[in-house]
Amino acid sequence: MQRMLFGAVALAAAASAPAQEVTGYAGTLRVNEANEHTFTAGASYTHPVHEYLALSVSYLNEGHPIDHHRDGVAGQVWVRSGPNQPGWSVAAGAGQYFYFDTSQLHSDSSTKYTNDHGWAAIYSLQATYHYADSRWYNQVQINRISPSGKDSTTSLMLGVGYQFNGVKGDKLHLEGPSTDEAITLMAGQGINNSLSSETAAIAGLEYRRAVGRYVDWTVTALYEGNTPQSKRNGVATQLWLIRSLNQKVELGMGAGPYFNAKVPDADGQRSHKAGLISIGGRYHLAKRVVAQATWNRVVTDYHRDADLFLIGLGYSF
């Protein structure tokens, strides 16, 4: 089901449809079993595929309830009340949520926390107010996330969004503003997915090439800093689904393996596996100069997950 869902989202992004939507959210969340309350935040990209149907990809942060820091990426199918006319419209969505949960271990183990990953069902209700003669809109959304064997959550979020017409035909850098290869130098901050959230200065060097109408391939060298939890360097390779929102802006989501050249000790393991999941935006400053910002999640099998926030400048050739 998960592969089918994200495959449908990918196909939708390649379809010709107007008014793609980008929305930012903030709100409150309740952990149902524990009756706890915390904050929540998120961002989403929505692509209409029919007058009454849309698909979305979202990043959701479920706040910091006691002994848990959980966030993740969701893909959903939406049924809507109709075209985006001035006034109110409603929608209902359902899909799958891939979560990353940093949780406290209550045991005698030397490891005090764990990074759990898994799939959960997500169901949403949405009400949107569209302003006359404006691309801006406001939104109210309720999410219910129900993972197996973990606490379910219910969140109420308020959002502000913007509609884009999109770019007809191919991606920006296949249409002429720049060419289909780029080298980007990046720097930023890394945050370890522990309950202490240690930080470090990080850097990266990315090679990007367009390999399809809506697909990029990247190879990225990463330096994750020098804190005790972040002494890890390596190279990641990813495939990206890319969508042009206008003549200068692109949004994308990428995933692939991350090969570590150096990792901290982890429970005596000799072999470590990791992957990289990323969400990013690119802004074409000139024909051959592009600015880039990405959020990257290192996903590991040895409880050393990390968030890597990187910004940089690239040169297209």
How many CB atoms are located within 10 Å of the residue 262 CB?
Answer: 10
> What pLDDT does residue 5 have?
47
Tens digit of pLDDT per residue, the chain (317 long)?
Answer: 454 445 545 544 444 455 789 999 999 999 988 889 999 999 999 989 888 999 999 999 999 888 888 999 999 999 999 877 889 999 999 999 999 999 887 655 555 788 999 999 999 999 999 998 899 999 999 999 999 988 999 999 999 999 987 666 556 655 554 557 999 999 999 998 888 888 999 999 999 999 988 899 999 999 998 776 667 889 999 999 988 888 888 999 999 999 986 665 555 555 678 999 999 999 999 888 999 999 999 999 888 899 999 999 999 88
Of the candidates 143, 138, 139, 137, the one whose C-alpha atom is nearest the C-alpha of residue 156 is: 143
Task: Say how far apart CA 221 and CA 312 lie, in whole Å.
Answer: 14
Cα-based torsion angle of the residue sequence 81, 85, 87, 88 in order, rounded to the nearest 10 degrees = 20
> What pLDDT does residue 173 have?
58
pTM (predicted TM-score): 0.86
> What pLDDT does residue 285 have?
93
> What pLDDT does residue 13 have?
47
Task: Say how far apart CA 180 and CA 177 lie, in whole Å.
Answer: 10
257's enclosing H/E stretch is: strand 249-262
> What pLDDT does residue 136 have?
94
> What pLDDT does residue 2 have?
52
